[in-house]
Amino acid sequence: MKFCFEFVRSMPRAVCVLLLAGLVSSSFVQAEEEAERSAPAPMSGERLAELIGHLDPEAVVESNSVQFSIGDRAHFAVWDSAANRMRLMSPVAEIGMLSEALMFRMLQANYDSALDARYATAQGLVWSVFIHPLSSLDEEFLGSAIRQVHIAAETFGSTFSSGELIYGGGDSQEQLDELEKALDRLLNPTT
């Protein structure tokens, strides 16, 4: 052992650095290879449709999409395996029915209370949407995404939230505080 330390001390510093870098790099490569062996298979469109089918046995699969329901609310999932993208969405409202203030509030919510879901417009409708790379989506995150899209659609026009959490720094908390005060005034009128 003493020989090893003396041998290393006699080496030029650059050689020691290269040897150390090689050892560290080798450790990272081994850790990465172990992670790849234990990692689940990438999500596919077929697997996505299968998982959604567990949620709604009456889901309709067509080509690269699936239509499903949660309660009375329609939801859609579409994917493009070649582009490695997927989208979950639920229609919320017709754009023509929204005031400028409501559209503005929707944009505020995209900043801090819609979280991974977002409000978007397409085809004359407002949608609650979640967009993500397909292959890196796992079952747990898919469940979270479906919940967030559903809740964001359900809370459009009131809390504009995809769940319980509001990410700080935006305007949603102030809006929710105002809503709470208005509800309190309705429920507890002073005479």
pLDDT tens digits for 11-56? 555 444 444 445 445 555 566 666 556 667 889 999 999 999 999 9
Distance of CA 45 to the CA centre of its chain: 17
The b/e string for 77-102 (b: 16+ C-beta within 10 A; e otherwise) is bbbebeeeebbbbbbbbeeeebeeee
The answer to whether residues 113 and 106 touch, using CB atoms and an 8 Å cutoff, is no
In this structure, how many other beta carbons lie within 10 angstroms of the beta carbon of residue 29? 10
Give the pLDDT of residue 7.
Answer: 46
pLDDT category, 177, cuts 50, 70, 90?
A: low
Kindly report which listed range (79-88, 95-104, 111-120, 158-167) carries the lowest average pLDDT score.
158-167
Distance of CA 100 to the CA centre of its chain: 27
Give the pLDDT of residue 189.
Answer: 66
The answer to whether residues 159 and 113 touch, using CB atoms and an 8 Å cutoff, is yes
Q: Mean pLDDT over all residues of the chain? A: 80
Give the pLDDT of residue 10.
Answer: 55
pLDDT category, 128, cuts 50, 70, 90?
A: very high
Distance of CA 119 to the CA centre of its chain: 13
Give the pLDDT of residue 115.
Answer: 82
The pLDDT of 76-89, averaged and rounded, is 97
E strand or H helix that includes residue 4: helix 2-10
pLDDT category, 142, cuts 50, 70, 90?
A: very high
Give the pLDDT of residue 15.
Answer: 45
Give the pLDDT of residue 21.
Answer: 45
Give the pLDDT of residue 112.
Answer: 80
How would you list the strands of the sheet with 65-70, edge to edge? 60-62, 65-70, 73-80, 85-94, 125-133, 118-122
Quote the pTM value. 0.69
The pLDDT of 139-145, averaged and rounded, is 92
